Amino acid sequence: MGGYQPRVVDAEMRQALQRSGALLVQGPRACGKTETALQCAASNVRLDRDSASRQLATIDPGLLLDGEAPRFLDEWQLVPEVWNAVRGEVSFASLIEGQAPRAADAEVSFATLTERIVLGGWPGFAGLPFEAVSANLADYLDTVATADLQAADEVKRDPLRVSRLISALARSTASEVSLATLAKDEASTAVETVRSYLSALERIFVTEDQPAWSTHL
C-alpha cells in the first residue's frame, strides 16, 4: 500500500492543536504514531535519529522547539526536559520574575556551530574552508611552541611540553584549574615549570587568566 491512509484521529489531532499549545501522542509501538503526527506537523525533529539535536538539548532543551509550528518532536522521551520548555518564548515579564532566558536560535546546525567555535575570529582566516583554518591553527600553535615562547624571554623550553600544556589548558577552558592539575594533565612537567610556562604564554597573549567573579561592583 502506498501513501498515508487517513485516520479518524487526524481530525481529532487538528482540533486538539487549535485549543492547546501542545499535544501528546501515545499508543502501542509500530501503530503509526509518527506518520499520523507528521500529517499535522509543519516541522519536525527525529530525536531517535538526530544525535546532534540530542546533544544540543543538553545545552538548552528549548532549542528543540525552534521551527515552524506545529513542531513534532519524535521520541520526546529521549529528552524529557523539553516539556519544561514547551510553555513558550521568553518574555520580559518572565525575566523580571526571575526565569532564566533561553538561548537564541542560531539558525545553524550543531556541527556548523562547533566548526565556528573552532575557527574563531581571526580576520586572516575569513572565507577559508574549515580544513584550511584547522591546519593554520595547528601551524600557529606549533609556532608558539617552537619559536614565539622562546622569543618572549630568550628561555629555551621544550616545544613538546609546551604543546601538551596548551592541550591541558584547552581541556580546562572556562573552569577552575590548579597548577598541580595542569602538571598532572600534561604528564611530564613539574608545577614550577608549569608556572613559568604559563607566565610566558601570558606575556605573548596566548593565555589570559580571568579574575574571580565578585559581587562588589
Provide the pLDDT confidence category of residue 106 given band limits of 50, 70 and 90: low
| Whether residue 25 sits in one domain with residue 83 | yes
Number of domains in the chain: 2
Residues 136 and 192 in one domain: yes
Examine residue 150 and state whether it is found in any structural domain, yes or no.
yes
The answer to whether residue 17 scores a pLDDT higher than 60 is: yes
**Do 77 and 135 sit in the same domain of this protein?**
no
For residue 94, is it within any domain? Answer: no
Q: State which of 69, 89, 109 marks the end of a domain.
A: 89
Each residue's pLDDT tens digit, 126-140: 788 888 888 998 999
Of 199, 140, 189, the closest CA to residue 164 belongs to 189
Residue 217 in any domain: the answer is: no
- Note whether 29 and 83 are same-domain residues: yes
Residues 12 and 85 in one domain: yes
Range of the domain at 76: 8-89
**pLDDT of residue 44 exceeding 90:** yes
189 assigned to some structural domain: yes
pLDDT score, position 1: 47
- 17 and 79 in a common domain: yes
Whether 105 is covered by a domain: the verdict is no
Residue 209: what pLDDT?
81
Measured in degrees and rounded to the nearest 5, phi and psi for residue 12 equal -65, -35
Residue 118 lies in a domain: no
The domain boundary residue, chosen from 41, 59, 89: 89
Question: 79 and 136: one domain?
Answer: no
Average pLDDT score, the chain: 83
In this structure, the dihedral spanned by the alpha carbons of residues 80, 81, 86 and 90, taken in order and rounded to 10 degrees, is -170
Handedness of CA 132, 133, 136, 141 (dihedral sign): negative
Domain membership of residue 109 (yes or no) is: no
Q: Which residue has the higher pLDDT, 102 or 112?
A: 112
Residue 188 lies in a domain: yes
Crossing angle (nearest 10°) for helices 159-171 and 130-143: 130
Q: What is the mean predicted confidence (pLDDT) over 65-80?
A: 89
| pLDDT, position 42 | 93
Q: Which domain-ending residue is among 65, 89, 113?
A: 89
Q: Return the higher-pLDDT residue of 33 and 85.
A: 33
Percent of residues in the chain assigned helix, strand, coil, to nearest 5 = 55, 5, 40
For 156-215, the pLDDT digits (tens) are 888 888 899 999 898 888 788 888 888 888 766 788 888 988 999 998 888 888 777 777
Q: Exposure of 129 by Cβ count < 10 A (0-12 exposed, 13-18 middle, 19+ buried)?
A: exposed
Q: How many CA atoms lie within 13 A of 183 on its CB side?
A: 12
85 shares a domain with 135: no
